[in-house]
Amino acid sequence: MAEAYDPQAIEAKWQQRWEEWGTYQVDNDDPRPKFYVLCMYPYPSGPAHMGHVRNYTFGDLITRYRTMNGYAVLSPIGFDSFGLPAENAAIKTGVHPRPFTDERVAELTESLKGIGASYDWRREVRSHDPDYIKGTQTIFLRLLDAGLAYRANAPVNWCPGCQTVLANEQVLPDGTCERSGDVVTKRDLEQWFFKITAYAQELLDDLETLEWPERVKVMQRNWIGRSEGAEFTMRIAGRDDLSMRVFTTRPDTAFGMTYAVVAPEHPLVTQITTDDRRPEVEAFVEQVRRETEIDRLSTEGALEKRGVFTGSYAVNPFNGEDVPIYLADYVLMTYGTGAIMAVPAEDQRDWDFAQAYGLPVVRTVEPPDGWEGEAYTGEGPRVNSRWLDGITDTAEAKQKAIDWLVDQGVGERKVNFRLRDWLLSRQRFWGCPIPVVYCPTHGMVPVPEDQLPIVAPDDVEFRPTGESPLRFHEGFLHTTCPLCGGPATRETDTMDTFVDSSWYFLRFCDPFNDEEPFGKDAVSTWMPVDQYIGGIEHAILHLMYARFFMKALADIGMAPVDLREPFARLFTQGMIRMGGSKMSKSKGNLVAPSRYLDTVGADALRLFHLFVGPPADDVDWSEQTDEIIAGCSRFLNRVWRLATEPDAAPSAPTTDVVDRAAHRLIARVTEEYDRWSYNTAVAALMEFTNLLYKEGATDEAVDTLLLLMAPMAPHIAAELWERRHGDHVHEHQWPVADPDLARIDSVTMIVQVNGKVRDRLEVPPTIGEAEAEALALESEKVREQLAGASPKKVIVRPPKLVNIVA
């Protein structure tokens, strides 16, 4: 009796070997062509969950597949180990975030090894390691020096639950915090920003060069939000000392301006408010201040309460007419100039506001006959617009309007972006400290690089105060000024954890460098990442920030100047759902992988994730799932028996059939690996196995099967290969299909009469048109159908089909 398949025994054995042998360690001077495969480094929240298993199964498959194809594959792993959960746990339990995090990292490391994922563990990075902190701080200081980091007072997003400010990207569309779900409010605070807006155009343009899912690119384009238009000056009627700037995307409609609006926070408000309007205006400004982001951006609510007349008038430069200036909460100080011209006839918001306040409407684009809508934004001839009248093409009319503004010296073409600068400071403890000090004499002074890293102390108290606990730690807070040596205080804010994740892929290229965060040569060797894998939830945040960092680091000379994009190819895997919602710790619907590792084993679980459907699709974890996993395990058992029991399959294999099938399989699976069609690749392996059970197995056929499944189910493939050959399957070259054997030398040609299949003929694939037609017409079944009539038309598509139209 042959030995049974024992997944636990062989998986433990091979995981240990891969680690001991350093199978997937790779050096920077490796002569093979490079391939950098990277899964987004995880936040260490404890043992791996199914989402991790899915993610790292894909990454591991690529690592092993590329290695077998002769590449030097860089496959590193690390941990995004700063962040709120560890600090919240500290507040709750008093345990310092460092030991808490280290424990979670150890757990996640164990379970990643448990699924057989292969990494160069020497290169591991953790955001909270002093080495890494030093790198993050060095980069910050260089960006500060280059003017790409700055401090400013700004109305910022404040989350009362997290007791910290948030980046715009971390506020959900409904105005709540993406982490805690609390309603985010606005506060005026002195904060740190990265000048990501300096790269708005390049971030937009370079999307074209990336092999990324289209929907991720679309999301980024929307987020950057480029809009072209004009900016111009309007005089305030009767006030020669005052004027305001407005931005519009439709300068061609300016003759239809019937009022103007400035944001309630606009600096001009106090000056343009007339005395009789002052009480009302002040009350309105106060009301808007108190409104949450949700109220303010909501389309609900009575418009009558959402604006107020200032008492002043602006002069429309196009026709010299005065229009009333209003305040309205829907005009935002943070976009454009914080002031707009309002054209109700061609803008629905302006239309609605005009209706509520009894303001006039002047059409400047003639709507089509029978138009019953309100604002009309389509094409049509200009009217009521003097020198624009009659122009139908909007682009042309815009250009003329802009030319006129330039001519008059009151305005010019202007491009605006929705993208705002990246607010990076956080009033939290468990993040990378911002390395600057404040000196009474010298103001803000960067900490010299030779004094890095600035590491937070361990003996702090965790209280949710709205300020970093560092602020209450006397030893950390008080220091000396690097310039004058006098007493100074440290910055106590820490950095957003997205700063850490914006350069970790560069550190992986050069993890032992203690001079610099990374060396240019090492980065040139490996970058860009050839295949990046992660969840769609990072479509904007992480993937935008990292792109910005890459460009900025190249420009300030830290990275190679021509390295503009970090991730050449991106794959976003589907998420795992249960009962209709995403499987997550917070929803309490996690299924622990250990349950499967302890029974069917890691290979079967990995195979399930590959087999269940296209990698990009979501997976529904249902009652059926366990059955499918059991099916994957059954398949591995069949392979095991085939490779270990001589009489598992018929003893006299039909060698010819099996050989040909094996070589067709090589061609098919290779092609499917290359296009991420893993579910059909597994199906092909199953089909082949079924064939071997039926036709008999040759040694060569079983070897082919093991080689092809080695990236998917690495442990069983390694074990069986070693038993058969004594060496290591993953060190083998990927098999190449013999074209003579893989070639199909007889195909079934379909013969249709009026589109219905009436016969099938075995023909050589090289058959010509005339021959195919002749063969088809000779078919008895065709003659029956035709009953002597001659065909009207014959469509011949050799070698696949002949269709006879009677």
Partner RNA sequence: GCCCGGGUGGUGGAACCGGUCAGACACGGAGGGCUUAAACCCCUCCGCCCGAGAGGGCAUGCGGGUUCGAAUCCCGCCCCGGGCACCA
Best CA proximity match to 105, nearest among 131, 84, 78, 83: 78
Contact 35, 73 (CB under 8 A): yes
How far is it, in rounded angstroms, from Cα 423 to Cα 138? 18
The neighbouring-strand residues paired with 125 are: 78
Is 290 an interacting residue with respect to RNA (CB under 7 A)?
no
Kindly determine how many residues on this chain lie close enough to bind RNA according to the rule CB under 7 A: 82
Options 14, 35, 192, 247; binder of RNA; rule CB under 7 A: 247
Count Cβ atoms within 10 A of the Cβ of residue 603 and give its class: 0-12 exposed, 13-18 middle, 19 or more buried.
buried
**Minimum gap (Å) between residue 667 Cβ and RNA:** 11
> Which residues, 6 or more positions from 267, have their beta carbon under 8 angstroms from its beta carbon?
none
Nearest-5° angle of CA 202, CA 203, CA 204? 85
Cβ-count burial 283-295 (b if 16+ within 10 Å, e if not): ebbeebeebebeb
Full 3-state SS string of 487-508: EEEECCCEECHHHHCCCHHHHC
Is 299 an interacting residue with respect to RNA (CB under 7 A)?
yes
Contact 778, 794 (CB under 8 A): no
**Positions in 522-541 near RNA (CB under 7 A):** 536, 540
Options 329, 491, 695, 703; binder of RNA; rule CB under 7 A: 329
- Site pattern 359..398 for RNA (x: CB under 7 A): ----------------------------------------
Options 362, 630, 667, 741; binder of RNA; rule CB under 7 A: 630
How far is it, in rounded angstroms, from Cα 150 to Cα 153? 10
**Minimum gap (Å) between residue 754 Cβ and RNA:** 6
SS3 (DSSP) at 405: helix
Among residues 301 and 768, whose Cβ is nearest to RNA? 301
Among residues 299 and 651, whose Cβ is nearest to RNA? 299
Options 750, 761, 777, 786; binder of RNA; rule CB under 7 A: 750
Options 243, 249, 513, 589; binder of RNA; rule CB under 7 A: 249
**Minimum gap (Å) between residue 11 Cβ and RNA:** 19
Among residues 299 and 733, whose Cβ is nearest to RNA? 299
Among residues 594 and 754, whose Cβ is nearest to RNA? 754
The angle that helices 7-21 and 714-725 make with each other, rounded to 10 degrees, is 80
SS3 (DSSP) at 67: helix
**Minimum gap (Å) between residue 250 Cβ and RNA:** 5
Is 805 an interacting residue with respect to RNA (CB under 7 A)?
yes
> Which residues, 6 or more positions from 1, have their beta carbon under 8 angstroms from its beta carbon?
none
Peptide bond into 528 cis (omega under 30): yes
Options 340, 432, 460, 720; binder of RNA; rule CB under 7 A: 340
**Minimum gap (Å) between residue 488 Cβ and RNA:** 38
Options 185, 201, 298, 589; binder of RNA; rule CB under 7 A: 298
Contact 776, 802 (CB under 8 A): yes
Among residues 82 and 212, whose Cβ is nearest to RNA? 212
| Four-CA torsion 432, 543, 550, 30, nearest 10 degrees | 100
Best CA proximity match to 265, nearest among 288, 295, 298, 233: 288
How far is it, in rounded angstroms, from Cα 648 to Cα 696? 9
**Minimum gap (Å) between residue 626 Cβ and RNA:** 8
**Minimum gap (Å) between residue 675 Cβ and RNA:** 8
**Minimum gap (Å) between residue 523 Cβ and RNA:** 31
How far is it, in rounded angstroms, from Cα 390 to Cα 476? 70
- Site pattern 1..40 for RNA (x: CB under 7 A): ----------------------------------------
**Minimum gap (Å) between residue 440 Cβ and RNA:** 39
Q: Which stretch binds RNA (CB under 7 A): 112-120, 446-454, 597-605, 744-752?
A: 744-752
Task: Tell me how far CA of residue 273 lies from CA of 276, 313, 696, in angstroms.
Answer: 8, 10, 92
Handedness of CA 86, 89, 90, 95 (dihedral sign): negative
- Site pattern 91..130 for RNA (x: CB under 7 A): ----------------------------------------
Which structure tokens are listed for 536? 């769609």
**Minimum gap (Å) between residue 134 Cβ and RNA:** 34
Q: Which stretch binds RNA (CB under 7 A): 10-18, 526-534, 596-604, 617-625?
A: 617-625
Contact 35, 71 (CB under 8 A): yes
Contact 340, 327 (CB under 8 A): no
Among residues 64 and 668, whose Cβ is nearest to RNA? 668
How far is it, in rounded angstroms, from Cα 605 to Cα 171? 36
**Positions in 169-188 near RNA (CB under 7 A):** 173
**Positions in 764-803 near RNA (CB under 7 A):** 793, 795, 797, 800-801, 803
Is 338 an interacting residue with respect to RNA (CB under 7 A)?
yes
Q: Where are the beta strands (DSSP E) in 297-435?
A: 307-315, 322-328, 339-342, 411-416, 422-423, 425-426
Q: Which stretch binds RNA (CB under 7 A): 245-253, 515-523, 556-564, 657-665?
A: 245-253
Handedness of CA 576, 580, 582, 583 (dihedral sign): negative
Count Cβ atoms within 10 A of the Cβ of residue 349 and give its class: 0-12 exposed, 13-18 middle, 19 or more buried.
middle
Is 223 an interacting residue with respect to RNA (CB under 7 A)?
yes
Q: Which stretch binds RNA (CB under 7 A): 297-305, 313-321, 402-410, 482-490?
A: 297-305
How far is it, in rounded angstroms, from Cα 264 to Cα 268? 9
Is 201 an interacting residue with respect to RNA (CB under 7 A)?
no
Is 279 an interacting residue with respect to RNA (CB under 7 A)?
no
Is 708 an interacting residue with respect to RNA (CB under 7 A)?
no
Options 12, 91, 146, 297; binder of RNA; rule CB under 7 A: 297
**Positions in 129-168 near RNA (CB under 7 A):** none
Is 760 an interacting residue with respect to RNA (CB under 7 A)?
yes
Q: Where are the beta strands (DSSP E) in 106-212?
A: 125-126, 149-159, 164-166, 185-194
Among residues 490 and 758, whose Cβ is nearest to RNA? 758
Options 754, 766, 781, 783; binder of RNA; rule CB under 7 A: 754
**Positions in 394-433 near RNA (CB under 7 A):** 416, 418
Among residues 151 and 694, whose Cβ is nearest to RNA? 694
Among residues 74 and 263, whose Cβ is nearest to RNA? 263
Among residues 500 and 759, whose Cβ is nearest to RNA? 759
Among residues 47 and 799, whose Cβ is nearest to RNA? 799
Options 151, 195, 296, 728; binder of RNA; rule CB under 7 A: 296
Q: Which stretch binds RNA (CB under 7 A): 333-341, 404-412, 451-459, 730-738?
A: 333-341
Options 278, 634, 743, 783; binder of RNA; rule CB under 7 A: 634
- The residue assigned the tokens 């063969």 is 775
Among residues 31 and 370, whose Cβ is nearest to RNA? 370
Q: If phi over 0 gives left and psi between -120 and 50 gives alpha, with beta otherwise, what is residue 713?
A: beta
Is 87 an interacting residue with respect to RNA (CB under 7 A)?
no
Among residues 14 and 678, whose Cβ is nearest to RNA? 678
What DSSP string describes 717-755? HHHHHHHHHSS-GGGSPPP---HHHHS---EEEEEEETT
Is 617 an interacting residue with respect to RNA (CB under 7 A)?
yes
- Site pattern 657..696 for RNA (x: CB under 7 A): --------------x-----x-xx-xx--xx--x--xx--
Cβ-count burial 441-463 (b if 16+ within 10 Å, e if not): eeeebbbeeeebbbebeeebebe
